[in-house]
């Protein structure tokens, strides 16, 4: 399967990517800032536009972990959990992604 892992630079994202990659799936990783990664990596803020659409191109499963960034304010958490998540899910639906796993509190 082709799997997109968001917030791949976070501890949870790294652990998920390692576990999924160990199962021989093709990974695409994304994070708001650049991270060193052996897999296909795309830096993304999950905005509304072509970059997010291209992020989910040819993906079977999205594992989404909202990321509000460094030293987040309450508004940053709301933005990560709502607007950015909406942008990602809309792009995934339009691209025909069949499965989305959303990890949140």
H helix or E strand, kind and range, residue 43: strand 40-43
Is the pLDDT at 22 greater than 90? The verdict is no
**CA of 95: how far to CAs of 19, 22, 24, 37, 45, in Å?**
25, 26, 23, 25, 18
Is the pLDDT at 105 greater than 80? The verdict is no
In whole numbers, what is the pLDDT of the chain averaged over residues?
92
pLDDT for res 96: 97
pLDDT for res 30: 93
From the number of C-beta atoms within 10 Å of its C-beta (0-12, 13-18, 19+), residue 43 rates as middle
Q: For 30-64, what is each residue's pLDDT tens digit?
A: 988 788 777 789 989 999 999 999 999 999 999 99
Strand, helix or coil for residue 62: strand
Is the pLDDT at 4 greater than 90? The verdict is yes
- The whole model's pTM is what? 0.91
Looking only at Cα atoms, what is the longest distance across the chain?
A: 37
Confidence band of 23 (pLDDT split at 50, 70, 90) = confident
CA quadruple 61, 65, 70, 76: dihedral sign: positive
């Amino acid at each position: 399967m082709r799997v997109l892992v968001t917030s791949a630079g976070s501890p949870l994202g790294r652990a998920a990517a390692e576990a999924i990659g160990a199962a021989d799936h093709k990974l695409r990783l994304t994070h708001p800032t650049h991270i060193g990664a052996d897999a296909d990596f795309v830096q993304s803020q999950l905005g509304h536009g072509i970059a997010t659409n291209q992020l989910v191109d040819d993906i079977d499963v999205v594992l989404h972990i909202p990321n509000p960034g460094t030293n987040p304010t309450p508004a940053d958490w709301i933005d990560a959990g709502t607007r950015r998540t909406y942008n990602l899910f809309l792009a995934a639906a339009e691209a025909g992604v069949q499965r989305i796993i959303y990890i949140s509190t």
